[in-house]
Amino acid sequence: MKMALALAEKGRGFTSPNPMVGAVVVKDGRVVGRGWHRAVGGAHAEVNAIDDAGEMAKGATLYVTLEPCNHTGRTLPCTEKIMGAEIKRVVVAMEDPNPDVKGGGIERLKKHEIDIISGVCEGAAKKQNEIFIKFVQTKRPFVIVKCAATLDGRIAARTGDSKWVSGEESRKFVHRIRHAVDGIMVGIDTVKKDNPSLTTRIEGMTGSDPTRIILDTRLSIAPDAGVLQLDSDSDTLVVVGDKVPADKKKSIGQKGVKIIEALVKDGRIDLDALMDQLGALGITSLLIEGGGQVIASAFKAKIVDKIHFFYGPKILGGSDGVPICSGEGPDMMKDAIPVRDMCVMRFGEDVMIEGYL
């Protein structure tokens, strides 16, 4: 199953809105077939593994990281492929979390008298597909907040300078995260100060650019902003309030971007309501990269599922730098947001804390 999970990981960034799935066919103690879901619309992992095994699949055991599908979507049901190949036993890491289909594949195989074992490496499988699990159950994106800060909690100096808080290895990992998510979101202040491209750049491979989402309540983005001039397969969405004049929206829309009108709460885009809109657009996952006001708003709106906080080995040593979160926080420490299931990683000289809210 660990081999199947490693195979599934090869699909990260390419399968959305489908899950990552890996499969291994074993016969007489020997691996005879391997496969994974390579891209949305393509063959599923079970099909690829069984095809790889060929005639050796007959009487073999199939290990698969997600319950085989029993419905027709872009492809035929995997249960039919398994039964047709005369697989004898199927070992599943986790049941399909989609409430509309959960258990259907396993039941179909049991009725065909195929032995089923479920729950092997279930925790690892659920973590691998945490994005898919949330989206199919809520129709809202899985939200990750990323920031890079000094050891004293500043994401930029008082001048706004932030190049570079973190090191090259950390920045390379962030591009891996961008490749893996459907959308990346920043506020208009970040666009004005940093003029980012918000694309994916991974050495040695062609990464997937996420949909770029700019929070711009009053539509103040400059027509020549770099994010509006990109040659990219993904869209740029500018999220505005309901009081922006139609002619102003039209002038920016001509730059090859899409304008989305959203609810406004306390003078800012209502991020909780926006998540429903993004989910309806098929955005299953979202990386929030800042700045401090947007990060604080995301925590306040309780939309965050996961954090990646990078800390570089440096200290600004003043109270006038830009904090990770801007604005008013709670009065009491007992009201702080708890972070669970934390792990710590090193990227060069930087330390990264991953955790869940």
Catalytically active residues, by annotation: 46
* Structural tokens at position 297: 């708003």
CA dihedral for 260, 261, 267, 271, sign (positive or negative): negative
Six token digits for residue 27: 């016969």
Looking at the DSSP assignment, which residues form a beta bridge with residue 187? 215
What single letter denotes the amino acid at residue 268? R
Q: Give the separation between CA 45 and CA 7, rounded to whole angstroms.
A: 9
Q: Which amino acid is at 79?
A: T
Nearest CA to 52 out of 71, 29, 70, 31 is that of 31
* Helices of type H across 129-167: 130-138
Question: If DSSP codes are grouped into helix, strand and coil, which group holds residue 89?
Answer: strand
320 — phi, psi (to 5°)?
-105, 5
Asked if 58 and 45 touch (Cβ cutoff 8 Å), the reply is no
What residues contact 281, with CB distance under 8 A and at least 6 apart?
none
Backbone conformation region of residue 232, classed left if phi is above 0, alpha if psi is from -120 to 50, else beta: beta
Q: Kindly report the backbone phi and psi dihedral angles of residue 206, in degrees, each rounded to the nearest multiple of 5, phi listed first.
A: -90, 105
DSSP for 274-297?
HHHHHHHTT--EEEEEE-HHHHHH
* Residue 155: burial class (beta carbons within 10 Å; 0-12, 13-18, 19+): buried
- DSSP track, 102-128: TTHHHHHHHHTT-EEEE-TTHHHHHHH
